[in-house]
Homo-oligomer: A and B are copies of this chain.
Amino acid sequence: MAHKSLSEIEIPHDRFEMRLSGSGGQGMILASVIMAEAVGADPTKNVIQTQSYGPEARGGASKADVVISTNEIYYPKALTLDLLLVMTQESMDKYYPDLKEGGTLIIDNVLVTKVPTDKYYGLPFTRLAREEAGHVMVANVVALGAIAALTGIVSHEALVKAVLARAPRGTEDKNRKAVEIGFREALKIIK
């Protein structure tokens, strides 16, 4: 294959870049792996999931990226985000500049209070996880349910399957409930 220069690489219109960000303990990497597996179950889609560690990645903010395309993905790093999930104020401040104009911003609206735009979807993912799904640890999965409902990037069925495939034994019910809560609450705010 002849390599193209990055500036010549045609970024297909169907390329969709998603970043899930928060703090180290919020399960953003696991959520990204689940999302990539759910989307990748569609045989027409190519998906690359990445995380970086290095000087720019240090500090409290944690991120994991998912790049989706119906074409081959030559360049797997996220360049300008179509969707950004932020679960902490620090990740809001750090990654908002990477969201493209018109991109979708989804926030935990209890944990993130300063938002530099009024165009966003806010839901209390962490509170919903704790109060309705049974454990704060599944806040990441509540967020995945909301992303699926808001974007249609993955079907409800494919997401549930991918979540359950990664749920530690004994946590299946909480995880299934978390997906449902995310879906339900997201549908309320887009109505």
Name A residues whose Cβ lies closer than 8 Å to a Cβ of B: 3-8, 29, 33, 36-37, 39-41, 43, 45-55, 57-58, 72-73, 76-77, 168
A36 B49 Cβ-Cβ under 8 A: no
A51 to B36, CA, bound (A): 9
Contact A3 B3 (CB under 8 A): no
Q: Which 5 A-B pairs have the closest CB atoms?
A: A40-B53, A5-B5, A46-B54, A3-B6, A47-B53
Instruction: Taking A6-B6, A54-B73 as given, write out 5 further A-B residue pairs in contact, using a Cβ cutoff of 8 Å, ordered by the A residue number.
Output: A40-B54, A46-B54, A47-B53, A48-B50, A48-B52
B8 adjacent to A36 (CB under 8 Å): no
B36 near A46: Cβ-Cβ < 8 Å: no
Query: In the complex, what residue of chain B is closest to A50 when comparing beta carbons?
Result: B50
Q: Which residue of B lies closest to A171 (CB)?
A: B168
**B54, B76, B168: the one within 8 Å of A168 (CB):** B168
| A47 / chain B contacts, CB cutoff of 8 Å | 52-54
Shortest CB-to-CB span from A70 to chain B, Å, is 10
Q: How far is the CA of A53 from the CA of B70 in the complex (A)?
A: 11
Q: Provide the residues of chain B in CB contact with A58, threshold 8 Å.
A: 43
**Closest chain B residue to A25 by CB distance?**
B165
Are B36 and A53 in contact, CB atoms less than 8 angstroms apart?
yes
A20 to chain B, nearest CB (A): 14
- How far does the alpha carbon of A7 sit from the alpha carbon of B5 in the complex, in Å? 8
